[in-house]
Chain A
Amino acid sequence: MIRDDCLDEEVTVEFFKRLSRKGVPRDARGAECFAFDVIKADPDVFVCKGPFVPDGVFVRLFRVECISDLRYRLPEETLTATGVNHKEFVDSLPDEDLQSLTDEYDGPIKLGNQIDVVWVTDFERVEPLFDDFAGLLDRLGWSEAASDMGRCVVVAYHREQVGRTIHVPRSLDAMGHPEFDVIEDCSAEMGMTKPITAPREMGLPEAVHRGCTVVPSRWEMRRIS
């Protein structure tokens, strides 16, 4: 785990207490797995503990999704109604079927990773950058661009849809997230993405919230290049 001086001391102490109960890891990967297990077992205690993101920003939240991830983002009943199996999502779903599940679909979407964290950026900041979509993905640090037949899905939704508070990301939220840099300013109002090739200062605002189901205001397929 990367050193994070801004985490609440109580949370840090509890985390290491539970980690020590796991025993001695065999190697660095083992240590990472132990840490992940601790957080996964009790995300209420460990994730989204950074400061609140103020109300005036992140009014609409934005994410990019891999096509192959739609198999667990879309509700089971949508998958069963169309009969699209997971293999198709990974390597062969035709554009027009995909568009039915994205551009024409206006139902709920499930968000959240294994430790119940959703990484988002501020839609108002990214919308003007849509013309250079590949550049936007680079600035977001979105490393999955090469996969999924050059396609992805963009998701935008209103903050009130989340039903949970929005937080500045801290290191425990970023367990297993190599693209994350610890925010050293403890009073920062938001985090910042880590661009892949663009200069560091071109990173975009970044925040986290707990897993939830939302009805997006924007949910559409995009070609990456």
Chain B
Amino acid sequence: MITIQQALERIEGLSEREVRRLARDRLLGDDAAPVGSSYTGEPPEDLVIQLLRSPDLSPKTRQAVIEAWKEVYVLLQEALLCPGKTTERDWQAVAVHLCGTVDVASPPELKGLVYALLDLVLYDSDSISPGFLPPAVRAAMGYDQTADRIPMWEQILRNHPPVAAYAFNALLTIVPLSSTVEQYLQFLWDNQVRREWPVDSAFLMRRASRKHGVGVIHRVLHWLDKQPYANKVIAELNRREWSRNWLRWSSADFDQGTRLSQALRRAVQSRSFSQESAGQLERWDRTSFYSSLIKEPLLSSPATLSRKMDLIQGFDPASVGFYDAGSPSSYRPEDRCNPPKKRDIYTSSLQVSPTYTRLRPHGQP
């Protein structure tokens, strides 16, 4: 992609009127000359995207770019609603340029129009080619989502298979309950396996686990284990190493992982560590912790967790209810002076028998 600097250099010396015309031509695809290097594919809208992302663009020039976008939007809308009356051109490509701009730059001035376009594409779907839907959905999901949009995204998730994964990712940013997210995942898995919907549910499940913890994966797999198509799910999970590892987990691993991540999150919230430790924990939490839970079989997690505990100096398990979550009787206030060995914290739940039966790969106990 071209840089913001290259985009600014391209409009250097141009009047607002000329900038508006240039932006309009780029969005229509009439001007596709590279601004960066033709080594890359550089779609024409990249120039408009980078201008709108630039903090150094003057308000008047920005307004000129926004007006150009609106001008092309009106032309597109006319073409969609009255196909015979407008100039012959590839309007789907124009929609890709328009929506691509909003998808990456998300200018607040255009939010209303993008949702209007999405409504048009969704509700006039009989007369509008389905190719318009993915760019319109991507453009809308580029904006910060609010709870009042949940019904719309749920409707897209349930009724539009080609963009269901986008809807799921949008919902993931607004839906507070992991149980609701699990329902979406069950729905998507079901349709992926039984109706061949074009979604990568394992990929989405991993995304969900980053926000809601690995328990989401456990509970959805637990549900899938009971479905008549469990073998197809195994085949899908076996395709990739990270999802193959899920098949080796036991329910105890998941419970423990979930408990620990919840406890650590509470600890950070309750500020029971020093600022520095909390900072370290947060960084680890985002990067190493979840990915280590996901990438490694969780049976090896006690060592990982011990290392983590070592990192956090001054960690007081009682303050975060960590023991309560595991075994209620295992911690007493007087133990603060004589805490149990770290290994003891984890071993009890690791002895629980695995829950999965059918989701286990062949040949594994």
Contacts and interface: CB of A to CB of B under 8 A. Distances in A.
Interface of A: 29, 32-33, 36-37, 40, 65-66, 68-69, 71-73, 76-77, 79-87, 90, 94, 96-97, 100, 104, 112-115, 117, 119, 142-144, 146-148, 174-179
Given A82-B203, A176-B37, A96 B242 contact: yes
Given A40-B32, A82-B200, A175 B40 contact: no
Interface of B: 1, 3, 10, 31-34, 36-44, 100, 103-104, 106, 134, 138, 141-142, 162-169, 198-200, 203-204, 206-207, 210, 240-242, 291, 294
Specify which of B32, B240, B241 lies most central, judged by the most chain A CB atoms within 10 Å of its CB: B32
Contacts of B34: 36, 113-114, 175-177
Nearest to B105: A87
B291 A81 contact: no
B169 A85 contact: yes
A36 B41 contact: no
A156 to B, nearest CB: 16
Contacts of B166: 80, 83, 85
A177 B39 contact: yes
A179 B37 contact: yes
Nearest to B202: A100
B33 A36 contact: yes
Contacts, number: 118
A73 B41 contact: yes
A139 to B, nearest CB: 14
B33 A32 contact: yes
A29 B14 CA distance: 12
B147 to A, nearest CB: 20
Counting from the closest, the 6 A-B pairs by CB-CB distance are: A83-B165, A176-B34, A68-B1, A36-B33, A83-B169, A86-B103
6 contacts: A69-B40, A81-B203, A84-B169, A96-B206, A115-B38, A144-B37
Given A113-B39, A177-B37, A85 B200 contact: no
